[in-house]
Chains A and B, each alone.
Chain A
Amino acid sequence: MTDFAGLTSVLGSTLGAWYDFRDLNNLQRLITEWIADWGPDWLASIIAGVLGTLGILGVIGPTLLILIWVERKVIARFQQRYGPNRVGPKGLLQPVADAVKLILKEQLAPRAADKLIFFLPPVLIFVPGVLIWGVLPFGPRMSVADLNVGVLFLLAVSGTTVLVIFMAGWSSNNKYALFGAMRAVAMSISYEVPMVLALLTLVVFSGTMSINGIVEWQQQEDVIFILLFPLSAIAFFFAASAELNRTPADISEAESEIVAGYHTEYSGMRFGLFYAVELGNTLVVSAFIATFFLGGWWLWGLDQWVPSWIILLAKTGAVYFLLIWTRGTLPRLRVDQLMSFCWKALVPATLLFVVVAFVERTLLISEGWDTTVALPIMAVFNIALTLGAIMLFARVSRPAALRRPARIRMAGTEIGGLRAARQVASRTEEPQFQVGGD
């Protein structure tokens, strides 16, 4: 905010005024300053908190409705369909119609369900879903709470979701729900580890736990973290998509296996709340990926011309599209495959990069290397290391069944039973089809 080159010179007088849309924090600041003039301090902080919460809810509510539409439209395009196009212009009101339908639907509960614990989760799951937005910096000063341990807060809050999911699955008295909950718990706990390690890389390297601090570090050094630590970014992306229950890791609500997983028994708006929070979490995770690895509200000086929150929104949209893309194109992994991928691949790889970050940080600080020279070299080295690690993993971790290619042969004139089968199999010429293998 220090040096507005272009826009500020034109609109210089508006900086800090309530109608300066580049920094919506001004509005809140003016209100709280006004209250502080005549009221007690605690009133000002309460009002500030309420305003921030209302602001967040006011933004994510409508955004979610639009996102449902976007996701359905994009997935539809992947699948060569039109997607919703009946309710409202271009089908834009479809999510509203869906919400109205869900609200009007009867809310059933299984007779043998544990009533209190069954009713709580749809409400409780909203809490971390909203809290997590509090530490997201929309701009240099635009976060509800700019905590100096923002990363810790983020991880702690996102970790509580799994408890709610388990409550839902356990209380439903339904085997599908129980399976879904068990899978969700196992997976969430496992994937927290690479997620934490990926963020630890950034914390170690930038030397701050404040989320805004991490963005500002990227701004100061003129580099985004995905270039410096691509493997951490990939690991974080995959771990986040696993925590979000999206394909290829949507095992806790795998439709073809356990119907809807932990929310199988929830109907009406209770299901709607789960769905909305899931979508909201997807959005917030995209926003955090954009913040941590893509520079957040900063974009090589463009943030001085365009409101920072629009930049963050654009980056979030890009990551969100990536999440839709993986969902639309990839099949689902099995539970044990996901677990082994987490513990055998992501954890060692992210751990390696924590060590790399330590070493490089030491070189920068203790040895006093010039950042303008050292950072590009480190980026190249880390990218090479990432590619090497991925290739090594692909080679080492391949299950035995996948090592030999799948072959399709043509029977030719051989028709019959086992003897003909042996005849065909013993042929030496190239098979018609050969896929996979090393």
Chain B
Amino acid sequence: MTTADDTQLAMQGTIEALTTGDGSEPVVVNLGPQHPSTHGVFRLKVTLDGEIVQDAEMRIGYLHRSMEKLAEERTYTQNIPFTDRIDYLAAMSNNLAYCLAAEELLGVEVPPRANAIRVMFAELQRVASHAMANGTFINDCGAWHTPLFHMFRDRERVLDMFEMTCGARLTTNYMRIGGVAFDLPDELLPTLEQFLADMPENIANYEALLLENEILHARARGIGLISPEMAINSSLSGPVLRATGVPWDLRKANPYCGYEDYEFDVPVGEQGDCFDRFLVRMAEVKESLKILRQVVDTLPDGPWLADVPLHARPDPGESYARVESPRGELGFYLVSDGGPAPYRFHCRPPSLINLTALKEMSIGGTLADAIVTLGSIDIVVGEIDR
């Protein structure tokens, strides 16, 4: 309580620092858990020498909700809403990965229409998530929210489509074991057509406004570098890995939901810096639109949900399914002991594993570079802590 004592203590520390050694000491600065740049409750403890980052320590767990343990008490179907909340910016991808794992465990055959709808929503989710990622990345570079709001326009339209299909915008809970919860509403396809028609112009606008921006180049080029070897050794995935030049995309490498039938390409970067990650995301949005076009054109008719009991009891065994979520390789590992609830429910979150490389990327740069690097990794704290 005593102010004088506190001041005196602080003074003593300063005096000690000044009288020992060369009179300077590194400053430890906490970025977070409440901080404008950390995209959630994530704490980055950086040791600074002036503006140069000497050490970066990630402290996670502020959003831990014990999802993996909770899931062991609920049936396979009841667990789907949990996956929404793991990566709340890509709920569809999380639904999908979990349902794929559960289907593998149950041995369910998914009808073709359901697969097409799943691909459609996973790609729409990618468009929305990348819009958010790129917008917040430029925000971290110091722009006054303008690119973010422009990209939110596109994300908003995607969320509107989610809402008209399943009633929810963020936590969709749309996928089911064996298909999807509802068939597409009549108004979805015209809306999607309009969206596909408008997007190329919007993307051309973003490219014209952002790609040649000298300040953005100066802030993001050559910052947060990571080599392909280091990226693979850190088991990075998603745009962060592809920006280093490694062409690894699960939609190609290990196709699911019929991705092998669609024609698309995997954009890869060259340098592995923040700007390449940004560019890879920009290019991936275009590829997603290509896939969406093909899905709309070849959407099969038929049932959208296989006949799976709500209270399914799979045989004892285990399964692992992985998808390419907007952030990288998202995997779900399920173990069944024959009961109605999974014996073990484990998630491989791309954000957490991509984040482990942050220390590598930010040491030696300035504080501002560390923030930009953090923004370019595109973390979702809900996924890191679960």
**Residue B29, interface by CB 8 Å:** yes
Q: How far is the CA of A418 from the CA of B247 in the complex (A)?
A: 9
8 Å CB contacts to B: which residues of A370-413? 399, 401-402, 406-412
**Residue A363, interface by CB 8 Å:** no
Q: How far is the CA of A402 from the CA of B232 in the complex (A)?
A: 26
Contacts of B69 in A (CB 8 A): none
Q: How far is the CB of B82 from chain A (nearest CB, A)?
A: 31
8 Å CB contacts to A: which residues of B277-335? 279-280, 282-283
Contacts of A257 in B (CB 8 A): 37, 367-368, 371
Q: How far is the CB of A115 from chain B (nearest CB, A)?
A: 8
Q: How far is the CB of B178 from chain A (nearest CB, A)?
A: 29
Contact status A421-B212, CB under 8 Å? no
Contact status A334-B144, CB under 8 Å? no
Contacts of A255 in B (CB 8 A): 36-37
Q: How far is the CA of A334 from the CA of B149 in the complex (A)?
A: 23
Contacts of A75 in B (CB 8 A): 144, 146
Contact status B142-A416, CB under 8 Å? no
Q: How far is the CB of B323 from chain A (nearest CB, A)?
A: 16
Q: How far is the CB of A265 from chain B (nearest CB, A)?
A: 14
Q: How far is the CA of A197 from the CA of B146 in the complex (A)?
A: 34
Contact status B221-A175, CB under 8 Å? no
Q: How far is the CB of A295 from chain B (nearest CB, A)?
A: 30
Contact status B244-A421, CB under 8 Å? yes
Contacts of B218 in A (CB 8 A): 333-334, 337, 399, 402
Contact status A248-B215, CB under 8 Å? yes
Contact status A80-B149, CB under 8 Å? yes
**Residue B216, interface by CB 8 Å:** yes
Q: How far is the CA of A81 from the CA of B29 in the complex (A)?
A: 35
**Residue B153, interface by CB 8 Å:** yes
Residue of A nearest to B365 (CB): A334
Given the known A-B contacts A402-B217, A415-B252, are A175 and B146 also in contact in the complex, defined by CB atoms under 8 Å? no
**Residue B51, interface by CB 8 Å:** yes
Q: How far is the CA of A412 from the CA of B37 in the complex (A)?
A: 36
Given the known A-B contacts A254-B368, A259-B36, are A248 and B142 also in contact in the complex, defined by CB atoms under 8 Å? yes
Inter-chain contact total with CB atoms closer than 8 Å: 180
Contacts of A399 in B (CB 8 A): 218, 221-222
Contacts of B245 in A (CB 8 A): 409, 421, 424-425
Contact status A254-B276, CB under 8 Å? no
Contact of A421 among B268, B366, B371 (CB under 8 A): B268
Contact status A415-B248, CB under 8 Å? yes
8 Å CB contacts to A: which residues of B218-269? 218-219, 221-222, 228-229, 232, 244-249, 252-253, 265-269
Interface stretch of the complex, out of A23-31, A85-93, A133-141, A428-436: A428-436
**Residue B16, interface by CB 8 Å:** no
Contact status A254-B142, CB under 8 Å? yes
Determine the interface band of chain A, counting residues with CB < 8 A from chain B.
Answer: 35 or more
Q: How far is the CB of B68 from chain A (nearest CB, A)?
A: 29
Residue among A255, A257, A328, A407 with the most chain B CB within 10 A? A257
Q: How far is the CA of A335 from the CA of B216 in the complex (A)?
A: 14
Q: How far is the CA of A418 from the CA of B233 in the complex (A)?
A: 11
Contacts of A409 in B (CB 8 A): 245, 267-268, 270
Contact status A259-B35, CB under 8 Å? yes
Residue among A78, A331, A416 with the most chain B CB within 10 A? A331
Q: How far is the CA of A75 from the CA of B149 in the complex (A)?
A: 11
**Residue B145, interface by CB 8 Å:** yes
Contacts of A115 in B (CB 8 A): 3
Contact status B366-A256, CB under 8 Å? no
Contact status A406-B141, CB under 8 Å? no
Q: How far is the CA of A407 from the CA of B279 in the complex (A)?
A: 8
**Residue A420, interface by CB 8 Å:** yes
Contacts of B266 in A (CB 8 A): 410-411, 415
Determine the interface band of chain B, counting residues with CB < 8 A from chain A.
Answer: 35 or more
Contacts of A79 in B (CB 8 A): 145-146, 148-150
Contacts of A432 in B (CB 8 A): 265, 267, 283
Q: How far is the CA of A336 from the CA of B223 in the complex (A)?
A: 14
Contact status A406-B248, CB under 8 Å? no
Q: How far is the CA of A328 from the CA of B144 in the complex (A)?
A: 6
CB 8 Å contact bits of B5-18 with A (1 = contact, 0 = none): 01100100000000
Contact of B253 among A78, A111, A416, A424 (CB under 8 A): A416
**Residue A417, interface by CB 8 Å:** yes
Contact status B268-A411, CB under 8 Å? yes
Contacts of B78 in A (CB 8 A): none
Q: How far is the CA of A255 from the CA of B217 in the complex (A)?
A: 20
Given the known A-B contacts A248-B142, A336-B51, are A433 and B10 also in contact in the complex, defined by CB atoms under 8 Å? no
Q: How far is the CB of B27 from chain A (nearest CB, A)?
A: 6
Q: How far is the CA of A79 from the CA of B29 in the complex (A)?
A: 32
Given the known A-B contacts A111-B3, A411-B268, are A435 and B211 also in contact in the complex, defined by CB atoms under 8 Å? yes
Residue among B36, B145, B366, B368 with the most chain A CB within 10 A? B368
8 Å CB contacts to A: which residues of B1-47? 3, 6-7, 10, 27, 29, 35-37
**Residue B140, interface by CB 8 Å:** yes
Contacts of A332 in B (CB 8 A): 141-143, 215, 219, 368
**Residue A53, interface by CB 8 Å:** no
Contact status B221-A402, CB under 8 Å? yes
Given the known A-B contacts A257-B371, A408-B268, A433-B279, are A329 and B211 also in contact in the complex, defined by CB atoms under 8 Å? no
**Residue B377, interface by CB 8 Å:** no
Contact of B221 among A328, A406, A415, A417 (CB under 8 A): A406
**Residue B275, interface by CB 8 Å:** yes
Contact status A421-B37, CB under 8 Å? no
Q: How far is the CA of A334 from the CA of B150 in the complex (A)?
A: 24
Contact status B267-A408, CB under 8 Å? yes
**Residue A172, interface by CB 8 Å:** no
Contact status B265-A412, CB under 8 Å? yes
Contact status B217-A436, CB under 8 Å? yes
Contact status A417-B153, CB under 8 Å? no
Contact status B144-A327, CB under 8 Å? yes
**Residue A243, interface by CB 8 Å:** no
Q: How far is the CA of A435 from the CA of B269 in the complex (A)?
A: 12
Across the A-B interface, give the 10 residue pairs with the lowest CB-CB distance, nearest first: A332-B142, A401-B222, A411-B247, A79-B149, A411-B266, A256-B37, A331-B141, A410-B265, A331-B143, A435-B211
Q: List 25 A-B contacts (CB under 8 A).
A: A78-B146, A112-B10, A173-B10, A176-B29, A254-B368, A256-B36, A256-B375, A257-B371, A328-B144, A330-B213, A332-B368, A333-B142, A399-B221, A402-B221, A408-B267, A408-B280, A409-B270, A411-B247, A411-B265, A411-B268, A421-B268, A424-B268, A435-B211, A436-B212, A436-B221
| Interface contacts beyond A175-B29, A418-B228, A420-B247: sample of 7 additional A-B pairs, CB < 8 Å, sorted by A | A256-B139, A256-B142, A336-B51, A406-B269, A406-B275, A411-B267, A415-B249
